[in-house]
Amino acid sequence: MRFLRLEDVAEELNVKLPQIRALIKSGELPAIQIGGRGVWRVEREKLEEYIQTRYAQAREEIERES
């Protein structure tokens, strides 16, 4: 199990950090707080699941528009 910092997740998705925080707050991207300072981390597998879900949603939208 590998956990990513929010900055790493933002870089991987090529978005800004506030967008990642919004995805976590909305529940779209699962994350956990670790340690006494409440540092947020995203499990690599959960990020991959999120990406696959977004691909599936994009395919569905393309099919609807066709």
**pLDDT for the residue numbered 53:** 97
**pLDDT for the residue numbered 62:** 92
**pLDDT for the residue numbered 65:** 87
Question: Which residues pair with residue 48 across a beta bridge?
Answer: none
40 burial type by CB count under 10 A (0-12 exposed, 13-18 middle, 19+ buried)? middle
Structural domain span for residue 42: 3-65
* CATH number of the domain bearing residue 35: 1.10.1660
Torsion angle of alpha carbons 32, 8, 14, 18, nearest 10°? 50
**pLDDT for the residue numbered 36:** 81
- Whole-angstrom distance, CA of residue 66 vs CA of residue 50: 25
Reported as a single tens digit per residue, the pLDDT across 4-63 is: 999 999 999 999 999 999 999 999 999 999 988 889 999 999 999 999 999 999 999 999
> How many domains does the chain contain in total?
1
Question: Which residues pair with residue 42 across a beta bridge?
Answer: 4
**pLDDT for the residue numbered 1:** 84
